[in-house]
Structure 1
Amino acid sequence: MKMLTTARKTLTVYASALTLGLTAALASAPVAAEKTVTWKVQSHWPGSSSSYEDSLVRLQKVLEERTDGRLKLQLYEAGSLFKAKDTFNAVSRGILEMGTISPSYAQDKMSLAGIASGLPFAFRNVWEAAYFHQGLGFEQMLRDEAAEHGVYWATDKVYPTEMVIKQPVNSWEDFTKLKIRSSGALQTFLTEAGAAASYIPGSELYSALDSGIVDGAHWGASQGAYSMGLYEVAKYHVQPALNIAGTDVIIVSQKALDKLPEDMQKIVKQALDEQFWVRTNEYLYKERITLAKAISEQGVEVNTLPDDVQQRLTKTAQSLWDEEAKRGDNAKKALDLLKNYLTELGYL
C-alpha cells in the first residue's frame, strides 16, 4: 500500500513537471505573425491636392492602426497606374483593390453617377446633401448599384464645387465667353448654359489655366484651388456653388474585401462610414479658413454672380435634372426622391 502511494505521488510530480514544461515551451515559442495584406490604391487626386493628404493618407493611417498593421494601403497619385476614368473598371475587375474617383468617371457603368456628381443648383447647404445621402438612402442606392459591378462604394465627403476664373463675370455675356475645365454633369450643364466646358485631368489643370487654354476651372472649392496653385493664375473665386455633392468617392474591390478576415472587413466598412462625416465637417471648416487666407495673402476676390446670371443658370439646371432620370429606373427613383426633398425644403 505504501509503495502504491509513493508511485502515485511520483506520477503526480512527473505530470506536474510535464505540464509546467509544456506551458513554458508554449509560452516561449514564437507566435506566428498574422498575415499582412497590402492593397494598391489608385487616386484621382494629384499628390498636391488637399484631399490626397486629408482623405486618402488619413484613411491609410486609420486602417493600418485599427488592423494592427495587418492592412496596408500602397498609394499612387493620379495617373500613376491608370487614367482617372479607367480606375472604376480596374477596381471592378480586381486589378486594383481600391481607388478614388469622381462619380462622373463611372457614368458608363452607374446610372446614378450624374446625380451623385451633383445636380447643379439643387442643394443650398452642405447639410442638405449629407442628409440626402445618409438620411434618405441615396448612399445605399449608390452602394447597391456599384455592387452589381463588384465594387463597394463609399462617398468620401459632400462639399460645394465652386469655380475660379481669371476675369470676373459681371454679365451674362461675360459668362458665355468662358472656357471652363469641368467634368460629368457639370460639364454638360455649363455647356448647355452657354459656356465652353471641357474635361482636363487634374495633373494638367494648372498649365491649362496658366496658358489660357481655359479661363476658369473647378477643383472642389477654395481648398482644391489653393492646394493646386490655381489662385496664382485665377484671382476670382465664384459663388454661389455650382453644386453641393459627393464629388469624391472611395471604391473598393468586393473581391479584395471578401478575402479579408471578417473583423478586418468590419473595420474597413466602419472606417469608410466614419470618413464621410469626418471629412465633410473638416472640409467645411477648412473651406472657410482657406478662402480667407487666399483673399488676404494672394489678393483673391469673391465674384458673386449677378442675379440675372444666377436665374438663367438655375433655369438651365432644372431642365437638365430630368435628363438624368432617363438613365434608368434607379436614376428616376433617385431624382423623384431629390425633388420631393427639395420641395419639403421649400426650394421647388
Structure 2
Amino acid sequence: MKRKPEKLLALLLTMVILFIYQSVPVAAAAEKPAESKTAEYSISIACSSTEYTTIGTNAVMNFNYAAQLAFKNYVESASEGKIAVNIYTNSSLGNASEILLQCMQGVIECSTAGDSDLSNYYPNIQVFTIPYAFENRAEFYEFLDGAYSQNMFDEIAKSTGVKIIAAFDNGGFRNFSNNIHQIHTADDLKGLKIRCMQSASYITTLETLGAVPTGLAFSELYSALQTGVVDGQENSPLVMLDNSIYEQQKYYTLDGHSISPAFIIVNEKWLRSLPDDLQQVVLDGGKIAQTAARGTIASTEGMALNFLNEKGVEIYTPTQEERETFKVAQQPVMEWLGSEIGDKAVSEFMDALIEIEPADTQTVGTSVNVSGDRTNVVPYIVMIVLLVLALAVVLIKLKRTIKKYETNGII
C-alpha cells in the first residue's frame, strides 16, 4: 500500500530529528558546552529588511532574517562558542547601500547585499537585469550555483573586497499587474501606464513591449493606481501586499520578467584573518543561510499568491508560447547593456544561460486557482527545506567530530 506524501515526509523528518538527537549530543559529550566558553571573535551581520512580513493574519519571517538566524545558529554552534554573531535588522546600521559599504570597509564583518547596490562597484552584475532570462526559480538557483556565477563572485571579491558566501533571490520573480485587462501576451501591454523602477533595463523593457513606463515613488503608488495616474505596476507577489497595492489591482500575470540575486557577504580580509577551521565554519554557515533564505522565499511566495487570490486578484500564468512573445524585450536591453559593460560580458552571460539544464515549466494558460494544487505544495517545500537543512548540519558536525577523534587518536 502506498504511503501518503504527508506521512512519508513526516516519517523522514522524524528520522532526521531522532538521528540528530541520538548522534550529535553523544559526539559532543566530551566537549565543554559552547555556552560556557568566551567568544574569541565576533561577527556583526546587518540587513535593511524587517524581521517579519504580514500576510493576512499571519506574520511570516523575512528571508533575509531567516538567513541571518540560520547563520548565527550554525556558526556559534559549529565554532563551539569561539564566534559570537550579532544580528542587526531593519536598517539599524544603515540602508542597503550603506551596510554594503561598511562591509567593504571592514566596519562590519558581514551583511546582505543586492545586485543593484553591488553594480555601483561591479557593473557587470547588471547582466541579471536582462528580462526573461530565467524560466523559473529552479533554473535561477542552478545558475547561481554554476561555474559562471562562481567566477563572477570571485571577480566581485577582487573588485570590492567582499566575498559572497550565500546567494538567493531578492524576494521572487517580478510580474505585471493592472486594472484594465489580463495580460496574456506582449501585445496586451501596449498602451498600459506601468509604474516601474527608474533603471534603464526596466524602462527599455516596457517601452519595447509597448507600455508607458512611469516613474513614481513607491509610497505614491497606491493613490496613483486609485486615481488612474497609472494602470498598473510590476513587482513580486510579496511586494503586492505592501501598502495594500492588491486593493487597486484586479489582474496579475505571472510573466516572470525579472528575478534579481541577493547575497550574504563577508569582508574577505577579515575572513582570512581567522584560523583556517573557523574560516570554514563561516563558509559553511553561508551555505546553511542560503538554504534557509531560499526555502523561506519559496514558501512565503506561495502564501502571498494564495492571499491575493482570496482577495479577488485574478492570477494568470502565460503558456510557454505566450511567454515567448515577451522575449522581444531582451535584444534592446542587451544592446543597452553592451554599451555600458561591453558586448563580451553580455554574450558570455547569454552563453552561460544556454548551459542550464531545462527545467519543467508550467504551461497551463488559464487563470490560476491558487487555493488548489499550487499552495498545497507549500508545506512540502518547507518540510523538504527542513530536511535538507537538518541533514546538512548533521553531516558537517559528524565530519568535524570524526576529524577531532582521529586527531586525538580515539579512532
Give the TM-score normalised by structure 1. 0.71
Quick check: 1:114–1:184 contact (8 Å CA) kept in 2?
Answer: no
Quote how far apart the aligned CAs of 1:51 are: 2.1
1:286-345: CA deviations, max 9, x gaps? 43343123312x222214569998566311223312443451487246324335437x85
Whether 1:92 aligns to 2:104 is yes
The higher radius of gyration belongs to 1
Q: Partner amino acid for 1:82?
A: G
Quote how far apart the aligned CAs of 1:164 are: 5.6
Where does 1:67-146 land on structure 2 (aligned, <5 Å)? 67-69=79-81, 70-78=83-91, 80-115=92-127, 117-146=128-157
Quick check: 1:163–1:216 contact (8 Å CA) kept in 2?
Answer: no
Instruction: Describe the shift of the 1:99–1:287 C-alpha distance in structure 2 as closer, same or farther (beyond 3 A).
Output: same
Aligned to 1:147: 158
Percent identity (aligned): 18
C-alpha root-mean-square deviation of aligned residues, in Å?
A: 3.7
1:264 to 278, 281, 286: 278
How many angstroms apart in 1 are the aligned matches of 2:200 and 2:143? 18
How many angstroms apart in 2 are the aligned matches of 1:264 and 1:126? 32
259-268 vs 209-218, greater mean Cα deviation: 209-218
How many angstroms apart in 2 are the aligned matches of 1:94 and 1:278? 25
Instruction: Describe the shift of the 1:39–1:337 C-alpha distance in structure 2 as closer, same or farther (beyond 3 A).
Output: same
Whether 1:318 aligns to 2:316 is no
Q: How many residues align?
A: 305
Q: Partner amino acid for 2:157?
A: A
Where does 1:20-99 land on structure 2 (aligned, <5 Å)? 33-41=38-46, 43-49=47-53, 50-69=62-81, 70-78=83-91, 80-99=92-111
Instruction: Describe the shift of the 1:250–1:215 C-alpha distance in structure 2 as closer, same or farther (beyond 3 A).
Output: farther
Give unmatched runs, 5+ long, in structure 1: 1-30
2:302 to 265, 283, 288: 288
How many angstroms apart in 2 are the aligned matches of 1:235 and 1:56? 35
Quick check: 1:165–1:217 contact (8 Å CA) kept in 2?
Answer: yes
Quick check: 1:105–1:184 contact (8 Å CA) kept in 2?
Answer: no
Quote how far apart the aligned CAs of 1:124 are: 0.8
How many angstroms apart in 2 are the aligned matches of 1:243 and 1:187? 9
How many angstroms apart in 2 are the aligned matches of 1:32 and 1:56? 22
Where does 1:164-203 land on structure 2 (aligned, <5 Å)? 165-170=177-182, 172=187, 175-182=190-197, 186-193=201-208, 194-198=211-215, 200=217
Quick check: 1:40–1:74 contact (8 Å CA) kept in 2?
Answer: yes
How many angstroms apart in 2 are the aligned matches of 1:300 and 1:322? 36
